[in-house]
Structure 1
Amino acid sequence: MSVTLSIAVISAALNILIATLIAARGLKNSINITFFSLSLIIAIWSVAIGISTDTGSVKISEITSQITYGLSGVVVALSLLFIVLLGARSRQYQKKLINRIGFLSLFLLPFFFTRLVYYAIGIDEFGYGILAPVYVVYLLGGLVLMAREIFFTLNNGSQTQKQQTKIVANGLLITIASVGILNVLIPTITGNESVTAISPIMSVFFVSVTGYAIIKHKFFDFKAVVARAAAYLLTTVILVVTYVGLAFMAKKILFPETIVTTLQLISNIALSILLVVSYPYIKRGFNRFTNRYFFRDAYDPQLFLDELNKTLVSSLDISELLQKSSLIIDANLKSQSCSFYIRDTSYFSSRLLGDNQAKITELEMRTIQDLLVRVHKKVITTALDGDTPEEAEIIEILKKHNIEILARLESKPNLDSVGIGYFVLGSKRSGNMYSSQDVKIIEIVANELVIAVENSMRFEEIEQFNVTLQKKIDNATTALKRSNTKLVALDEAKDEFISMASHQLRTPLTSVKGYLSMLAEGDAGNLNETQKKFIDQAFISSQRMVYLIADLLNVSRLKTGKFVIEATEVYLPDVIESEIAQLSETVKSRELTMVFNKPETFPKMQLDETKIRQVIMNFADNAIYYTPAGGKIVINLEEVKGVAEFTVTDTGLGVPKAEQHHLFTKFYRAGNARKARPDGTGLGLFMAKKVIVASGGAIIFKSVLGKGSTFGFRFNIPKTK
C-alpha cells in the first residue's frame, strides 16, 4: 500500500472513530445525526482521494475524482447544517434555512458527481465541465454562510454555544478551506492534481480539534460514551477482520491464481464495515414492520416491564392506572382484550376496568372471584389448566368470551384469599397460544400490579374518608349553628325577661324597704327588742334583694349598651363600714368573726358610689355564706405606693383550680358553691368585675380549695395638684 493511500486510510479510520463515538452515545437529536453523517462522509472522501491519486487506471481515477468532487459538496452542505443547528438562531429560522439548503443541495449535488463538473483525459490530464463555475460558487457560498452563522452565534449565543462554536467551527472551516485549496484551487490554476493526495491529512486536523472539544468542553459527553463506544468499535473491528480474513483465506484456497488489487481490498473492507454498522438498524426496522403488519408476537420483556413500571408510578387514580396498563399489556402481548375486575371495598362497589372487549359481565366476574378462593394458582390458562371442578367452571366462563389467561391480583403467597381482584386477557391477535415466557411475564406483571392497585385503593379510601369526614363536620357545623341560633334566641328572651322582671320588682320592693325603715325608726310606735330585731332582719333582706335587682338591671344595661359609670367623690372607708354594718347580725347568727381594718386616713376617690357599694356587699356577702361556722373574715383597705387596695379574705370553701378561670363569667357558679348555696344567681362576681374594670380598676382574686379565698379590687389614686 502506497504512502498516499495509507494516509487516506488512517484519516478515514480517525473519522470513523469519531462517528462511532457519536453512534454509541445515541442518534436521538439532529446535531448528533448531522455530525455522525459528516464524519462518515469525510471518511469516504479521504479513501476516494487516496484511491484516485494511487491508481494507474484512467477510468478509476476519473470515477474516484468525481466522487471526491461530489462529496466535497456534501461536506460543505453538512458542515453548514451542523453550524446552523449548533448556533443561536431560533428554531423557526433554523427550519427555514435548513429547508432552503436542503432543496438547493438535493438539486445540485447529483450533477457534481458527473462529467459536468470534472472529467479525466489521461492519468495526469483532466478537464472541467460546464457546471464547474456553479460548483465553485456553491462551495464559496457555503463558506460565506458558515462564516455568517458563526459570527451571529459568537455575538448572540450563550457562553456554552460560543465556546462550542468557536472550537468546532475553527476545525471545520480550516479543514474545508484547506481541502478547497488543495482539491480545487491549486489543480485549477496549475493543472496538477498530485497535491490532492495531501488533503486527507487536513481532516486529521478536524478530528484533533473536535476531540479537544469533546474532552475540554464535554460537547458530546465523552465520559458517558467511551465505554459503549469502545465495545461498539471493538465488535465492529473483530467482525470486519474476521470477515475479510475468512474471505482472503477462501480466495487463496479456491482461487490461488487470482490477484486481489488494493481497490478490491479496500472495497471489501468498506462493505464489511457498512454491513456491520447497518445490521442492527435493518433488523430493528424489520422487526417493527413485521410486528405492525403480521402481528409477530416477539417483544422485549425488559422494555415491557420498564414501560409498565413507569405507568404504575405515574398516577394514583385507579381507573387511569388500569386503563393505561391495559393498553401497554395489549401492545406488548398482542392480546385482543385486557379487563380488570377489582372487588368491592367498604367505600366502593366492585369495578370492571380496562378495555373489556370480551364483554364479560360483572356477574360472571363475581362468580369467578368466588371460585378463585378454592383455586391456588396465580395464573390460569384455558389451554393448560382445568384439573379441578372450580378451574373447569372458571375456564368455561373464560372460553365463552374468548379469554385465554386469568391472572390474580393477590399479594399472599398461599393464594387462599379473595385478594383485590384479577385481570383477564383475550386470545392473541395473531392466533398463536400464549407461550411459557408469556405466562411468566404475566405473573410478574400481576405482582407489580398488586402493589400499585393496593396503593391506589388506600389513597381512594383516604380521599373518601376525608370526604365523609368533611360531610360529618359540615352536618355537625350546621346543627351547631342551629343550636347556637336557638341559644341566642333563648338568651335574648332570658335577658328580656330579667329586664322586665327587675323593673316590675323594683317598685314594690322600694315600698317594702321604705315601710320597714319607717317601722325601724318608730314612726308607727315604739318597738321592743324582739320586734326591732325582726324589722332589721327584714330590712337587710330587702336591701339584699335591692342589690340583686340592681345586678339584674345592670346585666340588662350591659346587653343594650346603656351601662354607665356615674363617678362622684367617695370616701371608701365610710362606704365599706356602712355596708358591713348591715351584715353584723348575719355574721353573729352564722357564728363567724368579721374584722375590718379601717385606715385612719385615706384619700377620697372618684367612683360610682351605688355600684361600688354593690361590689363591696357582694364580696362580703359571699365570704359570709361560703365560710363555715367558727371561720374568720378579714376586710382590708390600704394605700400601697399610690394604689388603693380593698380585699375580703375568708377561711371558707375555696374555689377548685379547674373552675377558677370561669368564675367571673355570667351565671357561672363553682360546683361546691352550688351545693353550699343553691339559691345563688351567678351574677354577683360577673357584675363586680364589669363595674371595677369599667371604673378603671382591676380585680384581685386568689383561692386555695378548702382553705379560703381572697376577693377585692385595686384603683390607682390620682395625684393631687
Structure 2
Amino acid sequence: MNVFALLNIFTGIVAILLGFFAYLKNKRDPVNLSWFLTSLAISIWSFAFAGVVLSERYQSANFWQYLLDASSIWIPVFFFQFVFSLSSKKWNKKIIILSSTVGIIVSLFTFTPYFRIGLTQQLVFRYWVEPGSLYFVSPAIYMIFVILSIGLLIEGLLRTRGAKKLQLKYILLAAIIGFGGGATNFLPQLISIYPIGNYFVIIYAFLITYSIAKHRLMDIRLIVARSVAYTILLILVGSFYAFSTIWIEKIIFGPSNSIGWSQIGFRIILALVVIFSFQPLKKWITKRTDRIFFKQTYDSDELLEQLSHTMGSTIVLIELLYKILNILTHEMKVSRGFFVILKDGHVIDTTQGVGYKKSPRVSIKEIEDISKDGICIYDELEERSHIKNILRRYDASIAIPLKSNNSLSGVLFLGEKSSGDMYSAQDIGIFEILGPEITVAVNNARSYEEIQQFNVVLREEIRKATKDLESANQNLRALDKAKDEFISMASHQLRTPLTAIKGYLSMLLEGDAGEIKKGQHEFVEEAYYGATRMVALINDLLNVSRMETGKFFLEIKEFNITKAVEEELKQLEKTARDKGIKLIFKKTKHINLCADEMKIRQVIMNFTDNAIYYTPEGKVTLKLYDEGDKVCFEVTDSGIGVPKEQQKNLFTKFYRAENARSTRPDGTGLGLFMAKKVIEDHHGEIIFASEEGKGSTFGFRLPKKAKTAKTEDSAPSLGTDISPDTKIDKAIETMDNKIKQGAEKEKVSVN
C-alpha cells in the first residue's frame, strides 16, 4: 500500500478515536464538542486524501477529491472554535455562527470550476488538483483561521500557567506541525513541489495524544492509556500468531499447499499459548503503560490512611499543619502549599506554608470570599473571576475550605503540580474527603492549645494560692499554738476558781457557815446554779472543738467486694476504650468482706486508674480471689513499670518515679501513700511488683473478718502526719478528763 495513503489512514483513525473519546467523556463541554468536530473533519479529510491517492479511476478519485476539498476548510474552522472554547470555557454564538458561515461558503465554493477545473497527474500522483482561477481563496481563508488559532494559543500561553500552559504549548506545537504539513498539499498545484509536509501530519496525532495522556487535556487520559495498552497488546499477540503460523510452520513443516494433522496440532498449541499468555501479557503491558501515562499517580487509600494516622497522632497545631502539607506535597507532587487558620471564624490565627519563600499576606475578606463555593480550582474559573485573581495573587492552583457545621476554620491553598498535570477527579475526591477531616483535626489541636494555656494559667494561680496557703498555714500554726495555750489556761485557770466558788456556795446553802436568811438563801442558790451553768458551758465548748477536729475512723461493715470491683471497673471502661486498652476482670466467685467499703473502693479505683493511664497499649488485668480467711486483689498492666532503684520510695508521701512524672506531670504522689494507709489501718498488706518497661502489679491482701478498728485516739487522719489539730484534740481530751476528775473530787469534798 502507498505509504502516503497509509499515513493518512492512520491519522484518520487516531483523530476519530480521540474525538469520540472526548465527546463521550463530556458531551456538554464546549471544549470536548469542538474537539470532536475538529477530529471528525481531520478524519474525513485523511480518509478522503487516502481515497484520492489509492483510486485507479477518475470518477472515484474525483468523488474523494470533492470530499477532501469540502472538508479541508472545516479543519481550521473547528480548530479555531476549539481553541476559542479552550480559552473561555464557553460558547460564543457570534464567533460560532461567523466562522461556521465562512466554512459553509468555502465548502460550497470548492464545488465550482473557479476553485477546481478537474484532476490531472502531478509528480508521482496519478490524480491531483487542477486549480481554477480563484483557487487561492480557499488556501488564504485556511491560513487566516490557522493564524487566528495560533494567535489565541500564544495569547493563552502568555497569560496562563501550570498544567493549562503545558496543554496549550503542546496544542500550539501540534497546530504548527499539523497545519504546516497540511498546507504543503496546496503547493503541487501552485508551484509543483512535492507535499513532503504531509508526512508531518502524523506528528500532530502523537502530540495531541501526549497532551491528553500527560497533561489531562479533556480528562480522557485513562481512556487513551488503556487504548494504547490494548493496541500494543493486540499488535504483539497478532504479530506473534501470524509469524508463528506463517514462518515457523515453513521452517518446521516446509512449504506445503495442504494442512496436515501435525500443522493443525501446532496451531492449536499456538492458540493455547496465546490464550494463556494473554492475561499475564495484558498485565505487563498495562503496568508499563501506566508507568508512562500515570507516572505521578498515588494510591488514594494509602494516602488517606497516612494522613488519618498523622491527624490522629499529632495534637500540636503548627506541627499538624506542617506534616499534612509535607505529605500532600510529597505524595501528590504539589509544588507548594499553605494553610490559613482562623480563630472564631473571622480572625486570622495561624498561617503555615511549605514551598514558599515567605508566607503570602492574606486578608480575612479574601478568605471568606474564597470559601463560599466549596473547592476552587484555578483552571476551571472564568478569567476575570474574583476568586481566580485571589488564587493568582497567592500563587495557588486550588483552594480547599476547611468547614465544619457551616463554621469556617480556615483554607488550604495548594500550588500547581510539579509534573505540570492538572488536578484530576481523583485529586478532587481526595480533597473532598480531607477537608472535613482536617477541620476536625485543626479544631482538636486548637482545643488542646487552649487547654494547655489554661493549664499554665491554672498552675500559676495554684502556685500563688499555694504560696498564700503556706503563709496562711504558718499563721494557722501560730493560732493553733495560741489555741492550745488558751485551752490549757481555760482548763487550769477558769476551772479552779469555778470549783472553789461552787464549793463555798454549796457550803453556804447547806448551812456550814451558819444559818442564812430566806432572802439570802435565794441569792446564794441563784449564784450556785450560775456557776454550774458556767461549768456546763465550758464542757460544751470543749465538745464542739472535738467535733471540728476531724479524725480518721473506719466504718466497718460487711459488703460484696466482687460487686464493688465490677462497679468501679465499669466507671473506667470508657477511659480504657478511648486509649485502646483491653480491660480483663478474672474472678472466681462472689466474696464478702468486712471493711470500710468506701475507702476500699477508693483503693481499687486508684490502682486500676493508674494501670490504665501508665499503659500506652496492651491490656490491664484485674484478679480477685479467695485465700481462705483472706481476700486478695491484684491489678496487672503492661505499662511503663517502675525503675528498680525507685521502688523503695514509691509508697511515701508526695513521691513519684521519674518515668511517671514524664508521662503524667500533674500527679500529686499521694494516691499510693493513702492507699497504703487504708490497707494498713485494715490490718492488711500491700502487694507490689514491677519491672521497668514491662509492667507492674499493684494490689492488697485483707482479712475477711475485721480486727479491732483503731480508736480515735490512735488513728491519724488519712494521708497526713499527726497535725496540730490532732494535738489540740489530745489536749482537749486531757483537759476534759481533768475536769471530770475535779468534779469527782468536788463531789467527795462536798459530801
Q: Same fold (TM over 0.5)?
A: no
Higher gyration radius (CA)? 1
Instruction: Report the TM-score, using the length of structure 2 for normalisation.
Output: 0.33
TM-score, with normalisation over the residues of structure 1? 0.34
